Structure 1
Amino acid sequence: MRWTTRSKNQMLVNRSSFLRRLAELLEEGYTFHDSVIILMPHYVQEYESVLAAAENSLRAGLSVSQVLEVIGFKRNTLLPIAVSEVDGTLILSLKELAKRLEVKEAREKRLRSILIYPMFLFIFMAALLLLFRQYFLPNFQALTQARHAETGLSSYLPLIVGKIPDILLTMLLITSLVAFLSRKVFTRLPPAEKIRKLVRIPVVGVLLKKTKTSELTGELGSLLRSGLPIQDALAVLESQRLDGIIAEVASNLKRHLIHGIPFEQAVSLTEGLEPNLASFVKHGSDTGHLAEELILYSAHTFETLESDVAKWVSLIQPVLFALLAVCIVLAYLAILLPVYGMIETM
């Protein structure tokens, strides 16, 4: 059950803070129902209809993760909550998810701050180049023809610079179209096919492996720590419907275990996981602390993932400024070279 038709005033704001406060109220002894009633007015401007949808979901017997989805959380972020309903660590999972959402929100905010200034300059530069093409370029061409100036780079460069806005717009449209179509195609693929295709895409494949390995090991370690046997823990992850890729990976691991393959070998044979996970699994199995090993591995992989993403984000602004500098230099040359050419012919 998912309630999706809502206005901006009915959207949940500051999701990480909502989860943190929810965990605090549950720790103080409030029920989940009462906690949602208390918090909703503080995080949704027009909360009545959202609260009514949440209460209807609770009356229908939906789980905590399903109710949170109705409130406004994205389905692919709620796997830890679904697992915590099995292993009894709901409060801890709410706190951990709040931390992860805080990190994600901070990263998105930083990305916006990095992009907004160079994008504004690009728009301003494109507007100037359009004005150049509309008003100055015809005059340069007329002067060049009138004085029979040379037909080298100085005569063609203004034409090239005048095409830059068209090139940028075309690239933007093509990129947007490819991204839109790729998203549509991948959402229709079965999970196994998604894994096979996504892991082969540069950068995306690396980030996907780290993300899913971190999520899988964290949830699997939590289930093992609660006392579930490993096959039962994998069955829980296989049966959930919040993350199809995690369910597919868990299903493959479980199938290998049923065939008598040791867990560390099953990890090596399963596509979509980090290559070094098998050695950590073997170490955890040998020491008898597999659950703790998986949880620590999950935390470390998440930190590594955030560090990698931060590096990629930090490269965006210099690249954009370098492209902008090239456009500015070309614009100056497009103006100055024809002028110098005409001076030499005088």
Structure 2
Amino acid sequence: MAISLKKPTTATLFRTHKETLRQGRFLKRCGQLLLDGFSLQEALVFLETIVDSDSRQMIEVVHKEVSRGELFSAALKEAGFSDVVCAQLYFSLFHGQLAQTAVKAGSQLLKQAEKKRKMQALLQYPVVLLFFVMIMLLAMRFVLLPHIHELTALQPEQLDIGTRLVVAGVYHAPVILAGGSLVFLLILLLLINKGRKLTPMNRLQWLTRWTRSSLFTLYWSQFFSNEWGFLLKGNSSLLEVVTIMKKNTLSPLITEVGEYIEMEMKQGKSFHDSLQELAFLKKEVILVVRQGEKSGHLGQELEMYARECEEEFDKQIEQVMNWVQPVIFIFVALVIVAIYAALLLPTFNALQTF
């Protein structure tokens, strides 16, 4: 029987909470079974029997690809897992810690799913409020303000400057918001179009420099430090690490980074010097690599640094989530106050003229 699966979106950002949760649970359970002595085939067969129908479809795709002789990482790619997750499992072929990597990748996906769930819960009520505020603004412009103007029979010049500004702001708010949204959408489409013309590494370099966000540098510093640390602890040399990255076919970004580092090293630069121009890596990565090369414990030091980056990344995400809802509520409150002011101030001005 042919296996049919609606392939998940490639971009991690646009995956739903449920989709990420499914993938995380599968990888973590699979890794735990491998640690308990199951073979990969046995683990997949067992998991197919205990999961829901949606997860079963995903596992069947993985099982089918593995049975055909494909690598586990390539099978995950076919099932719709992200390039980053597939690359992690690909690297495990060389450092020999497939089970531990699957558990770690699954745990990371579960954390991502929890963050998405929290963000959805945080935004649900404010988004509903924003919707009703927009309806109120439209009602003010096309229904209430014209009636108030007719009832009070006041000319704009008869109103004080504060009242005129408030009324004009509320009256033109729908146009301002609609125009602002269109401009934002246009800029976003232009940026997306520009990004598509760049190679994966140059796109990430450009995004990191343009946004100035430490989240990019923390995420990718954690990823590369962790994978390099695993490979080095698995007795790979730095040159072998670069070769493994370059030969990876599952993530164009990692392949390009490997090719770039190899090109820099061929020009006589050391491994840590070849990282200087990679804007998506924190400067501390270079210092850790330089120190690790001297001490001979580079693998362990990179792993420890990766854990610190992961903790800092999680902390910053929590801070962003804690700010989102209050900022939206403040905006909604200001709009509601402006609406009340636009209703009451002209009325008070009219009463003062009698």
TM interval, shorter chain, is: 0.7 to 0.9
8 Å Cα contact 2:152/2:347 also seen in 1:
no
Query: For 1:201, what is the secondary structure of its paired residue?
Result: helix
The answer on whether the counterparts of 1:249 and 1:272 sit within 8 Å (CA) in structure 2 is no
Change (3 A) 1:241 1:6: closer
Q: One-letter code of the match for 2:158? A: E
CA spacing shift, 1:312–1:156, aligned 2, 3 Å: closer
- Partner in structure 1 of residue 263 of structure 2: 255
For 2:329, the equivalent position in structure 1 comes to 321
Structure-1 separation of matches of 2:339 and 2:193 = 39
Counterpart in 1 of 2:207?
198
One-letter amino acid matched to 2:53: Q
Residue by residue over 1:240-283, the C-alpha shift from the partner in whole angstroms, topping out at 9 and shown as x without a partner, is 23333333333222233333323332333544321122221122
Are 2:46 and 1:38 equivalent residues in the alignment? yes
The one of 287, 309, 316 aligned to 1:308: 316
Q: 1:28 aligns with which of 36, 47, 63?
A: 36
Runs of 4+ in 1 over 4 A off after TM superposition: 10-13, 46-52, 146-149
How much has 1:161 moved relative to structure 2? 0.8
CA distances 1:56-80 after superposition (whole Å, capped 9, x unpaired): 3224322101212233422333221
Matches of residues 1-346 of structure 1 in structure 2 within 5 Å?
Answer: 5=6, 14-45=22-53, 50=58, 52-145=60-153, 150-153=158-161, 154-155=163-164, 157-204=166-213, 206-346=214-354
* Contact 1:13/1:43 (<8 A) preserved: no
CA RMSD across the alignment = 2.8
Give the whole-Å Cα distance in 1 for the aligned partners of 2:19 and 2:294. 48
CA distance in 2 between counterparts of 1:3 and 1:189 reads 33
Comparing 277-286 with 151-160, which one deviates more in the overlay?
Answer: 151-160
- Native 8 Å contact 1:137 1:159 kept in 2: no
Question: Structure 2: 5+ residue runs without aligned partners?
Answer: 9-15
The CA deviation string for residues 79-98 of structure 1, in whole angstroms up to 9 with x for no partner, is 21111122211001011112
Q: Are the aligned partners of 2:229 and 2:302 in contact in 1 as well (CA < 8 Å)?
A: yes
Distance 1:163 1:144 in 2: 20
Residues 220 and 294, structure 1, Cα contact 8 Å, conserved in 2: yes
Number of residue pairs matched by the alignment: 343
Contact 1:234-1:254 at 8 Å conserved across structures: yes
In structure 2, give the amino acid aligned to 1:85. L
Partners in 2 of 1:75 and 1:148 — Cα distance?
Answer: 60
Preserved contact between residue 20 and residue 113 of structure 2 (Cα < 8 Å): no
How many angstroms does 1:302 deviate by? 1.6
The answer as to whether partners of 1:13 and 1:44 remain within 8 angstroms in 2 is no
Mark the runs of 5 or more structure 1 residues left unpaired by the alignment: none
Normalising by structure 1, we get a TM-score of 0.88
1:148 to partner: Cα distance: 8.6
Residues in 2 aligned to 1:59 and 1:94: alpha-carbon distance in whole angstroms: 19
Q: Provide TM-score, normalisation by structure 2.
A: 0.86
Distance 1:305 1:129, change over 3 A: same
Read off the aligned partner of 2:317 and give its amino acid letter: V
Q: Name the % identity.
A: 21
One-letter amino acid of the counterpart of residue 163, structure 1: H
